[in-house]
Chains A and B, each alone.
Chain A
Amino acid sequence: MSLEMTTYIVVGLTFLLYISIAVWSRAKSTKDYYVAGGNVGPITNGMATAADWMSAASFISMAGMVANMGYGGSVFLMGWTGGYVLLAMLLAPYLRKFGKFTVPQFIRERFYSRSAASVAVLSLLAASLTYIIGQMTGVGVAFSRFLGVSSDVGIYIGMGIVFTYAVFGGMKGITYTQVAQFLVLISAFLVPAIFISFQLTGNPIPQLGLGSRLTETNVYLLERLNEVVTDLGFKEYTTTYAGSKLNMTLFTLSLMIGTAGLPHVIMRFFTVPSVKAARISAGWTLVFIAMLYTTAPAVGAMAKYNLHRTITPGIAIEEVDLFEPEAHLLGEERPDWMERWEATGLLRWEDKNQDGRIQYYNDQSDDEEFLAKAEAAGWEGNELEVNADIIVLANPEIAMLPNWIIALVAAGGLASALSTAAGLLIAISSSISHDLVKGIFMPKLSDKGELIVGRIAMTLSIILAGWLGLNPPGFAAGTVALAFGIAACSLFPALMMGIFFKKMNKEGATAGMLAGLAVTLFYVFAHKGIFFIQGTTFTHLIGGENSFFGLTPEAIGVVGAAVNFTVALIVSKFTKEPPEYIQALIENVRLPRGAKHVDGSH
């Protein structure tokens, strides 16, 4: 059977599964719609949250980013997992005890203020919408690469699939489809990783394989990889920081705090039946996420090693001089998978020195001696452009695995993009129907009426997300920094202070969120343009790029959070204490006893 046929069958079966679940799990009340009935078990919720969390970026791009950045790539590995410790201890159990449907609803009631809630709704919409652009383009890209349809058609199919279970099933439909999607995506990620680890090191467990010796040379994989990349003029794999040490530290911390503050993740913990379940469910979530996140660095390093060995066969053989022509692969002898991926533009070979061979090296190296030798050998610049996504996408082909595994990877990539898009859509649409329509404009709306409004909001959100995916603004690449920055600098501190600082009042919380947002947006916009419009960067006004202690805009979220905390504390000292009943409410939220099922009443 051809690869294309196998892929259609595997992907088609998974879609059939998702739609069957959707039919079975229709939402009958707002409680079903917003919190999946409020009785999802901790392990089930853990799997659903893991699928919600692991997007196309985690599944397709992260291993490749780690491969490119080496040790510096650890910021993503730690940043996107460490936040769950904060979430489990500082937010999830208390917000669950509070027992309402949405994140802004907590802000609104805790800070007895519509304006604080409005800032929270705006932050939520900004963070979720910027995040969803990447997911929708991811859906399109995954379809076009794996199924040979155009990216636009892919987005329409994706919108249709999400529509069937998100509009009818709400959080309930989304949760149970996400469990299925988690199982698909995790097996799609682990199976090729196990094969490649076994091929290279003889150890089938990738987490151990990365620390093992290569079977062919009996040298440690990481040691060999370090030699290979430095011989080619790249920086050492296991020691290169992401920017400076300070930048790497704050970047990691920003991602952690941002993760804990992302509303589409927090609201998952409203679906479990008790405070106890909320605590343990965060642990299960991280177990399921870690299955992918501890495997990804092994996939990255191993695929990178395989790639260099393929392109520069001479690099792995002691007797051959790297600067002799034979050390490099003849273009016409390159493997089929390279030609296949060249067609997609993710891989590009340009024979700059017309010698018919591929020279793949770092032509921007700081090693003068290496560059001089390269020039003397007649190399005229790096000839191979490799997109980071190749590491995961072409991994099964590089390792020459059977077709069904390649098809499984396709299904996994689609599962990761669809599950995250659905999770973001429920966060966006419930904020519109519950916090805006019911909370502010139509407080007397009945449960039935709100369910209809919720479904309309979901439909409109899907259309908006699809439109953004079809016409991605030019800034799509920079938006992830913004989503995490916003969550870190506005939502996380406000939620945390709402629980842990009893005297925090509405003036403090609102001023804090606004100040945090101002600092973060100012620094991000300075680097990426005002609202990401090209040509409106203003780094010259702040003394050049990364001028604030050498921080990249991705790392600024934690500074925004610190500003938020400081401003909030100062303002609250000089304004009126929160009323007595609010302080009593907080005392109550801190104790697990008496936790009811969540309900949405304002």
Chain B
Amino acid sequence: MKKDDKAYWKMTLRLLGIILAVWIFVSLGLSIIFAQELNKINLGGYPLGFWFAQQGSIYTFIALIFIYAWIMNKIDRNFDVHEE
């Protein structure tokens, strides 16, 4: 593997790690494990933990994919491995 390719893969893995950490934290953390505590806070008529479980986590998933795609395209260009 060329040196640049190694660096590219390392950057990719770091991005994946960060996104997956947020993914786990919001879906399993805020929505399930810490839901009881968060439910003491209200978002309009929604208890916050319940909101994350039935609304917020899904919005977060969408945001994560678009952020991933956007950053990944930039990384591709920086390392000059993007598609022509």
- Chain B contact residues: helix, strand, loop or mixed: helix
Question: Is A279 part of the binding interface, using a Cβ–Cβ cutoff of 8 Å?
Answer: yes
Q: A90-B16, A253-B28, A587-B1 are in contact. Are A592 and B65 (CB under 8 A)?
A: no
Question: Is A220 part of the binding interface, using a Cβ–Cβ cutoff of 8 Å?
Answer: yes
Q: Does A85 contact B32, Cβ atoms closer than 8 Å?
A: no
- Tell me the number of A-to-B contacts counted with CB atoms below 8 Å: 142
Question: Is A43 part of the binding interface, using a Cβ–Cβ cutoff of 8 Å?
Answer: no
Q: Does A248 contact B47, Cβ atoms closer than 8 Å?
A: no
Q: Does B55 contact A297, Cβ atoms closer than 8 Å?
A: yes
Question: Is A71 part of the binding interface, using a Cβ–Cβ cutoff of 8 Å?
Answer: yes
Question: What 0/1 readout, one digit per residue, does chain A (240-277) give for beta carbons within 8 Å of chain B?
Answer: 00000100110011001000000000000000001110
For B, the interface residue count at a CB cutoff of 8 angstroms equals 44
Residues of chain A within 8 A (CB-CB) of B16 are 89-90
How close is A217's CB to chain B, nearest CB, in angstroms?
12
Residues of chain B within 8 A (CB-CB) of A290 are 58-59, 61-62
- Chain A contact residues: helix, strand, loop or mixed: helix
Residues of chain A within 8 A (CB-CB) of B5 are 587, 590-591
Give the CA-CA distance A74 to B56 in the complex, in Å: 11
Question: Is A390 part of the binding interface, using a Cβ–Cβ cutoff of 8 Å?
Answer: no
Sort chain A's interface into a size bin: 35 or more
Give the CA-CA distance A262 to B12 in the complex, in Å: 24
Q: Does A592 contact B81, Cβ atoms closer than 8 Å?
A: yes
Q: Does B33 contact A222, Cβ atoms closer than 8 Å?
A: no
Q: Does A297 contact B54, Cβ atoms closer than 8 Å?
A: yes
Q: A78-B31, A220-B45, A249-B28 are in contact. Are A286 and B83 (CB under 8 A)?
A: no
Q: Does A248 contact B32, Cβ atoms closer than 8 Å?
A: yes
Residues of chain B within 8 A (CB-CB) of A282 are 65
How close is B84's CB to chain A, nearest CB, in angstroms?
8
Within 8 Å by CB of B83, from A207, A223, A275, lies: A275
Q: Does B23 contact A85, Cβ atoms closer than 8 Å?
A: yes
Q: A253-B28, A279-B72 are in contact. Are A71 and B53 (CB under 8 A)?
A: yes
Residues of chain B within 8 A (CB-CB) of A279 are 65, 68-69, 72-73
List 23 A-B residue pairs with CB atoms under 8 Å apart, sorted by A's residue number: A81-B58, A82-B23, A82-B61, A85-B65, A89-B19, A210-B45, A210-B46, A210-B55, A211-B45, A211-B46, A220-B45, A238-B50, A239-B47, A249-B33, A276-B73, A276-B76, A276-B82, A279-B72, A282-B65, A290-B62, A590-B9, A590-B12, A592-B83
Q: Given A252-B32, A279-B73, list of 19 further CB < 8 A pairs?
A: A71-B53, A74-B31, A78-B58, A81-B61, A82-B23, A85-B65, A93-B72, A210-B45, A210-B46, A213-B45, A222-B46, A249-B33, A276-B69, A280-B66, A283-B62, A283-B66, A297-B54, A587-B1, A590-B9
